Structure 1
Amino acid sequence: MEKNGYVSDIHHKKPKGRPMSAATSRANGRRSKIRAFVEHVFAQQKSRMGLFVRTIGMARARTKIGMANLAYNLTRFVWHQGRTAPA
């Protein structure tokens, strides 16, 4: 991974019998924040949109996932527009 310029985003375990260092705790928190944000998108697509990709061919699967992403993005856009509208 390092050879290609990637950085590992795997959480680090607490050392056995010792407390976790503050730096490790902050790094794990940063990783959790990113993961939680991404996982909420997939959870919403699976539960509310009923996204279950069962198609024949990659083109149809890409189209189905792309349409679900578009619908999710439009939903988020409308939600943000409603929050910023003047009263």
Structure 2
Amino acid sequence: MAEHGRRGNATMLRVRAFVEHVFADQKHRCGLKVSTIGLVRATIKIRLANIAYNMRRLIFHERTAAAA
């Protein structure tokens, strides 16, 4: 594989690893299941799960900053 291809794969793997952790958290904590029927409803469920995830991350970072 060419050097350019290896760098592209490495970048893609880093992004995929971060995104998969977010999805795993949403599935585990929020019980997120998205049906393929109803694109609008699925989009809203995913957005709400993302908001909840971001709020938990914000609270975590604020607590660690306050403790330091």
Q: TM-score range by the shorter chain?
A: 0.7 to 0.9
Structure 2: gaps of 5 or more residues: none
- Bigger fraction of residues in helix: 2
> Of the two structures, which has the highest relative contact order with CA contacts closer than 8 Å and spacing of 6 or more?
2
Structure 1: gaps of 5 or more residues: 1-11, 13-22
**Identity, % of aligned positions:** 51
**CA RMSD, Structure 1 to Structure 2 (Å):** 2.5
Paired positions, count: 67
Runs of 4+ in 1 over 3 A off after TM superposition: 28-31
The answer to whether structure 1 residue 54 and structure 2 residue 35 are counterparts is: yes
TM-score, scaled to structure 2: 0.74
How far, CA to CA, are the matches of 1:49 and 1:31 in structure 2? 26
Q: Over alpha carbons, which structure has the higher Rg?
A: 1
Alignment of 1:1-87 (within 5 A): 27=7, 28-54=9-35, 56-86=37-67
